[in-house]
C-alpha cells in the first residue's frame, strides 16, 4: 500500500512538475487516459497522456516529461522496505461468508422443518404414516395441521426478519423493528376496527384493513421521528416504543369498553397452534414481498446511506422509501392476522447477520431469511416440548429468547477491529 500522505515539499514539487509537463506536451490529437492517484488521502489530478504509439508508454523509462514525472510520483508514493506500516483503521470487520455456508444453513432449516412435522401430541410419525397409509389419521393430521403450521413458521420467520432489516436500513437505526415502532400496534388497531364495524369480513379484507393501518402507523412514526431534534441511537426506538404504547393503550381502551378484549387477544397472542390449512395462505404474499425486497436490495442499500447521498447517486429516495414502507406494513399485517405478534424477531436476527456480514442487503437478505425461519421453527419446537403434552405460545418463547439476545446486543463489547 502507498504511504498515507506525501510530505509538503514532495507534494509541491510533484504538482509543479506535473503542471510543467502538461504545458510542454505538444501532441494535439492525444487521447486522454485516466490519471494517477498520488497517494491515498492526497489530491487527485487527471493527467493527459500521449496517444498510443506517440511514446513507449512505460512509466519511469520513457523520456517524455509526463511519464518521467509519473515515475517520480510513483516512486514517492511506493513504500520501501523500511517504510512504516499504515495506521490501522478502528472499524468492525464484516466476515465474508464462505460459499458452502449458505447451503449448510439451508440444510439446517430443512432438518428443523422435518423435526417440526413430527413433534406434537398426536401420533404423527413416519411409522404411523407407513402403517396407516395415505387415508389414515396420521396423514390427515400431517396435511391439515402439521404441514401448514410448519410452512407458516418458515414464511412468517423470513418475512418478519426481512421487514425488520428493511426498517433498520430506512430509519438508519439498528434498534428498530415493526414491534418497536408502532407498526404492529397500528395493525392491531385496524383489526379492532374490523371487529367493531364489520366482523364478518373475509380474512383477506381484514388483512387489507390491517395493512392500511400499519402503513399509516409507519408514516406517523417517521413524521414524529423527523420532529425529534436529536437523533441518538437509543432515542429512536424509545420514540417508537412510546408511540406503540399510545396506540396500544387506545386499542385496549376501546376493546375493553366494547367487551372485545378476548377476541382481540386471540388475534395478537403470537400462537401458531391454531394455524390450519386454509388459514395460512396469506403468508405466501409475505413471501412474495420478501422476494421483491431481495430484487430491490441494492436500492435499499443506497437509500440507507441517507436521502442526500441517495439523491446524488441518482436514486429516487422517496419512491424507494415508500416501497420499503409498503413491504414492512403488509408483511406485519399478514403476520398479525395469521398468527399474532412475534416480538424481537425483526430486531435480533438482522443485527446478528449484520455483525457477521455487514450491511450489504444483496448478501445479507438470504441469511436473514434463513436465520429468521430457523429461529422461529426452533422456538416453536421448544414451545411444544417445554411442558409436553401442553404447549407454550410461540410469542412467549420468542419474547424470552429475543429479550436475552437483545440485551446481549446492547451490552456486548466490540471485539472485532481491523
Q: How far apart are CA 369 and CA 146, in angstroms?
A: 21
Report residue 20 as a C-alpha cell.
Answer: 510543467
What is the distance between the alpha carbons of residues 409 and 401, in angstroms, rounded to a whole number? 13
pTM of structure? 0.71
Comparison of pLDDT for 12 and 369, the residue scoring more: 369
Q: For the segment 10-50, what is each residue's pLDDT rounded down to a tens digit?
A: 444 445 544 454 454 443 433 333 334 333 333 333 333 34
What integer pLDDT is reported at residue 232 of this predicted model? Answer: 67
Quote the Cα angle for 196-197-201, to 5°. Answer: 105
CB 191 within 8 A of CB 338: no
Separation between Cα atoms, residue 131 and residue 143, nearest integer Å: 16
Q: How confident is the model at residue 316 (pLDDT cuts 50, 70, 90)?
A: confident
In order of 304, 350, 362, 395, 418, the CA distances from 166 in angstroms are 9, 9, 12, 22, 27
The mean-pLDDT minimum among 101-105, 146-150, 230-234, 272-276 falls in 230-234
- Answer whether 194's CB lies under 8 Å from 251's CB: no
Q: What confidence category does residue 99 fall into, taking pLDDT thresholds of 50, 70 and 90?
A: low
Query: Do residues 334 and 207 lie in contact, with contact meaning Cβ atoms separated by under 8 Å?
Result: yes
- Give the integer Cα–Cα distance in Å for 220 and 240: 10
pLDDT in tens, 344-358: 888 889 988 888 877
Give the 3-state secondary structure of residue 254: helix
- Reported confidence tier of residue 136, pLDDT bands at 50, 70, 90: confident
Burial track 230-247 (b if 16+ CB lie within 10 A, e otherwise): eeeeeebbebbbebbeeb
Per-residue pLDDT reduced to its tens digit, 198-256: 888 887 888 888 888 988 888 888 888 887 765 666 677 788 888 888 998 999 899 88
What is the DSSP code (8-state) at residue 340? B
Q: pLDDT for 152-177, tens place per residue? A: 999 999 999 999 898 888 888 888 88
Report the Cα 309 to chain-centroid distance in Å: 19
| Alpha carbon of residue 322 to chain centroid | 16
What is residue 15's predicted lDDT score, i.e. its pLDDT?
52
CA gyration radius, the chain: 29
> Mean pLDDT across the chain, nearest whole number?
75
**Residues 181/184/186/189 CA torsion (nearest 10 deg):** -150
Amino acid at each position: 500500500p502507498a504511504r498515507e500522505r506525501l510530505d509538503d515539499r514532495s507534494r509541491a514539487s510533484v504538482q509543479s512538475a506535473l503542471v510543467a509537463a502538461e504545458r510542454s506536451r505538444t501532441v494535439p490529437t492525444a487521447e486522454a487516459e485516466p490519471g494517477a492517484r498520488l497517494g491515498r488521502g492526497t489530491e487527485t489530478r487527471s493527467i493527459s497522456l500521449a496517444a498510443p504509439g506517440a511514446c513507449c508508454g512505460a512509466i519511469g523509462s520513457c523520456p517524455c516529461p509526463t511519464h518521467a514525472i509519473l515515475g517520480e510520483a510513483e516512486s514517492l508514493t511506493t513504500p520501501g522496505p523500511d517504510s512504516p506500516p499504515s495506521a490501522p483503521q478502528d472499524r468492525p470487520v464484516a466476515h465474508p461468508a464462505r460459499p458452502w455456508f449458505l447451503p449448510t444453513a439451508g440444510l439446517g432449516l430443512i432438518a428443523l422443518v422435518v423435526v417440526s412435522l413430527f413433534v406434537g401430541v398426536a401420533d404423527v410419525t413416519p411409522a404411523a404414516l407407513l402403517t396407516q397409509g395415505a387415508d389414515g389419521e396420521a396423514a390427515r393430521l400431517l396435511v391439515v395441521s402439521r404441514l401448514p403450521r410448519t410452512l407458516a413458521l418458515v414464511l412468517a420467520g423470513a418475512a418478519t426478519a426481512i421487514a425488520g432489516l428493511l426498517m433498520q436500513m430506512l430509519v438508519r437505526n439498528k434498534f428498530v423493528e415493526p414491534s418497536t415502532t408502532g407498526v404492529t400496534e397500528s395493525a392491531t388497531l385496524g383489526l379492532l376496527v374490523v371487529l367493531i364495524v364489520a366482523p364478518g369480513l373475509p380474512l383477506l379484507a381484514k388483512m387489507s384493513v390491517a395493512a392500511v393501518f400499519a402503513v399509516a402507523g409507519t408514516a406517523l412514526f417517521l413524521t414524529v421521528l423527523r420532529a425529534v431534534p436529536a437523533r441518538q441511537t437509543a432515542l429512536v426506538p424509545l420514540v417508537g416504543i412510546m408511540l406503540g404504547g399510545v396506540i396500544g393503550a387506545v386499542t385496549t381502551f376501546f376493546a375493553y369498553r366494547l367487551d372485545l378484549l378476548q377476541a382481540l387477544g386471540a388475534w395478537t397472542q403470537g400462537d401458531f397452534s391454531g394455524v390450519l390449512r386454509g388459514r395460512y395462505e396469506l403468508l405466501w404474499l409475505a413471501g412474495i414481498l420478501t422476494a421483491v425486497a431481495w430484487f430491490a436490495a441494492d436500492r435499499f442499500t443506497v437509500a440507507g446511506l441517507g436521502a442526500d447521498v441517495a439523491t446524488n447517486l441518482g436514486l429516487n429516495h422517496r419512491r424507494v422509501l415508500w416501497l420499503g414502507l409498503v413491504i414492512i406494513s403488509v408483511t406485519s399485517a399478514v403476520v398479525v392476522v395469521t398468527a399474532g405478534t412475534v416480538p424481537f424477531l425483526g430486531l435480533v436476527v438482522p443485527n446478528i447477520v449484520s455483525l457477521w456480514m455487514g450491511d450489504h442487503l444483496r448478501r445479507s437478505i438470504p441469511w436473514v431469511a434463513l436465520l429468521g425461519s430457523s429461529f422461529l421453527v426452533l422456538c416453536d419446537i421448544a414451545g411444544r416440548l417445554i411442558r409436553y403434552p401442553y404447549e407454550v405460545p410461540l410469542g412467549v418463547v420468542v419474547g424470552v429468547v429475543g429479550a436475552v439476545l437483545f440485551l446481549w446486543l446492547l451490552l456486548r463489547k466490540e471485539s472485532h477491529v481491523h
